Amino acid sequence: MRAGSTARSIETVIGWCAMVSSIVHHTFRAHDGRRFRASCPEQYSGHMTDDGVDIRVEGRLGHITLDRPARINALTPAILTRLSDALVTWQDDRAVEAVLLDGAGDRGFCAGGDVRMIAEAGADEARAFWELEYATVLQIARYPKPLVAIMDGVTMGGGVGLGGHAALRVVTERSRIAMPEVRIGLAPDVGGALLLARAPGLVGLHVGLTAATMSGADAVATGFADVFVPSRDLLELVDGLIVPGADAATVVARVAVTPPASELLPQRAWIDSSYDADSVATILAALRSRREPAAVEAAETMEKMSPTALAVTLRTIELAALDDDLQRVLARDLSVSLGLFARPDFAEGVRAQVVDKDFAPQWDPARVDGIDPGIVDTIVGAR
């Protein structure tokens, strides 16, 4: 994508965040071929369930529950639109003192964007979805009222985008946090590169390049979450937030406990040594040279991922480490996502992981020694 196009995309994301209510007039295509128009109700008072999201006001708490449990609350344009509009409505509503974001069902908070829907959409519709998603992420990150996100259970991709940038981020012993985009030919987006770059040492590179799943304890240790709350105490947390005048941070702290020891951070020695490189090939060679079984396993895992997506991911995390600004990271995410969307690996990754589920993608190129640096520069934007 050319620099001028990227700049216009930046302006689009920023503009949509400033005037997010206008998003509801955009038309998207669902994965089953039907068209729908996301519409915004005049006011989010009381209780409303529609389009896969449950929105209500309980006491002084604005409560948003992603409500698509059969798909682990995978995100659609309609869900993002209603979520975003509720935040706009409550921002200046004195009757709402804090906001809670959680997910329905016992499987997880949010498995991310509906990748099958995105893969079957055209480029314009994919762009519209990502612009809406990234605008909502930035809106959450900048929200002026306390916003608590409970990332209980599976929380991946877009789920990390919604929950990982909230003011108060809660995980449990059931949390499974991941940015698995390289499995389907994409790179971590929704500001995930920034979270990965902020992790201690080079742990974030390891997590991003292997699509590793973190526990709740790992998420706190790496900065993806703030507090650990046992799942049995989540109802107490919600009840405390509902009380008028309650301070959200105090309520969260009251039910939080010291998390178990992270199993990921003690591996920093071999991680920091192996990932301190400027290419995927060099990282793989370093991992293979290690004696630790986990390092060898990491190399074997990376070799199953899209080589182009790996190279792009390495670059985007490095760039996020140099520029700790979520707005600019999200602008780059849009350019990168669109660039990878146009590559054959994305469709192939979705086919292998989501549609046919043979888990045997045929990447192009098939190996990291076939990575074209020029293509990577074009996707990421040469610096």
**Residues forming the active site:** 113, 158, 181, 189
The span from the CA of 367 to the CA of 277, in Å, is 18
CA 159 to CA 171: how far, in whole Å? Answer: 13
CA distance 178 to 193: 12
Inter-residue contact 63 to 104 (CB < 8 Å): no
Q: Pairing relation of β-strands 35-37 and 61-66?
A: unpaired
Q: Which residue has the tokens 């600019």?
A: 328
What are the DSSP calls for 146-181, one per residue?
-EEEE--BEEETHHHHHHTTSSEEEE-TT-EEE--G
* 358-to-128, 348, 349 alpha-carbon distances in Å: 30, 11, 10
* Residue 251 token pair: 């309520």
Apex 288 CA angle, 285 and 294, nearest 5: 130
Distance CA 97, CA 60 (A): 5
Task: Tally Cβ neighbours within 10 Å of residue 121.
Answer: 20
Task: Identify whether the C-beta of residue 347 lies closer than 8 Å to the C-beta of residue 309.
Answer: no
**Long-range contact pairs involving 39-45 (C-beta distance under 8 Å, separation at least 24):** 40/81, 40/82, 40/85, 41/85, 43/89, 44/85, 44/86, 44/89, 44/90
Residue type, 363: W
Intra-chain end-to-end CA distance of the chain, in Å: 13
Sheet strands (E) in 42-129: 47-50, 53-58, 61-66, 98-103, 108-110
C-alpha 148/C-alpha 243 separation (Å) is: 15
